[in-house]
Structure 1
Amino acid sequence: MRYHTHIVSSLAVGTGIAAYTPVSFTIAYAAGLTLGSLLPDIDEPNSYIGRRSFGVAKQVNKAFGHRGFTHSLLAWGAITIVLLLQYFSPFTLGLCLGYAFHVLADYCSSQGVPLLWPFSKKRYRFVITYRTSSFLETLLFYCFLVLFIYFLTNGAIEDSSSIFLF
């Protein structure tokens, strides 16, 4: 999935969560969703986040390859436990959710993800898949964009000033 589709899909699902739970949709939460939606691709030097990582992506790629450790339940679980138990905030909640949404989106791709890494390098994928940069991914992008706008305008933000609360 391309970076902008990861961002929009994570924002759409995260906004839906804010619309139907006590989670507040704030700038910090949205920033966490956005960063989290990109973070698993720190293992690919040519990814959007990889090109801005000051060489970190090359080192992660060398150690684990693309769609290895960073796309596993172990990586997501470790990040979630550390951040939410030690540094809970709207930003860290958004980051952990965005990370999970990225892995879920790649789980639905034709390449799949190694969910059980390091115990298994098998790539798991959903029954229905899409290819990166395909028409289906473009369609998903626009569907998530419409969903994001819908949630923003229909209940995710109770008070128009709440988006500015950190």
Structure 2
Amino acid sequence: MLQKTHTLAGLLTAECVVAYYHQPFLTWEAGAALLLGCLAGPMADIDKKGSTMAKVFLPLSWALQLLRVKHRTVTHSLLFILALFAILSPLPDLFLWTAVLSYASHAFIDMFNDQGVALLWPWNKKIGFLPKFLAVDTGSFAEGVIRLALGAAVIVYPFVGGGLGIG
């Protein structure tokens, strides 16, 4: 999936976490969590040379390239998500769960693609949700529909699901 799809998935996930913690959306904390979700959503693609995240976090991307990390393996795995949780565990719960779940949304969304992800890495078998003939190709019309649905949900959710409390 494209970076903009992952960004929207991360943002929607962050909105859900903000609502779960009963944090009004119009606060600095919620704003920081939403920004974190936008960044964490596409972050797993740091292992893909030329991706936006690889360009933004170039030294990390280079390190992954030197280690010959293949796309949709280590950075898309449950093991990596658990390691991320352990590293970020000192953060307040709102930010911890926003970062981890928004990051995890990336692998979840990619599992609708025919390539799947190595969710159980180091076992390199790639797992996907759909058979190849139903899978969503990156940049396809189907991905555009998913992105449109995610965008609509991002706009609507704070009003119907999360409440827009001011403080």
Q: What is the TM-score normalised by the length of structure 1?
A: 0.86
Is residue 99 of structure 2 the alignment partner of residue 100 of structure 1?
no
Alignment partner, residue 79 of structure 1: 84
Scaled by the length of structure 2, the TM-score of the pair is: 0.85
Give the % identical residues: 27
Contact 1:44 1:58 in 2 (8 A): no
Runs of 4+ in structure 1 displaced over 4 angstroms? none
Query: After superposition, where does 1:11-160 map in structure 2 within 5 Å?
Result: 11-19=11-19, 21-24=20-23, 25=25, 26-63=30-67, 64-84=69-89, 86-118=90-122, 120-127=123-130, 128-160=134-166
After superposition, the CA RMSD in angstroms is 1.8
The gaps in structure 1 that reach 5 residues or longer are: none
Amino acid aligned to 2:124: K
Cα distance in 1 for partners of 2:83, 2:162 equals 28
1:9-47 Cα distance to aligned partner (Å, 9 max, x none): 22223324544x335240121122112112111111211
Contact 1:109 1:132 in 2 (8 A): yes
Segments of structure 2 that go 5 or more residues without pairing to the other structure are: none
Shift of 1:88: 2.7
SS of corresponding position for 1:87: coil
* Contact in 2 for aligned 1:34/1:95 (Cα 8 Å): no
**1:9 corresponding residue in structure 2:** 9
Q: What amino acid does structure 1 have at the position aligned with 2:58?
A: F
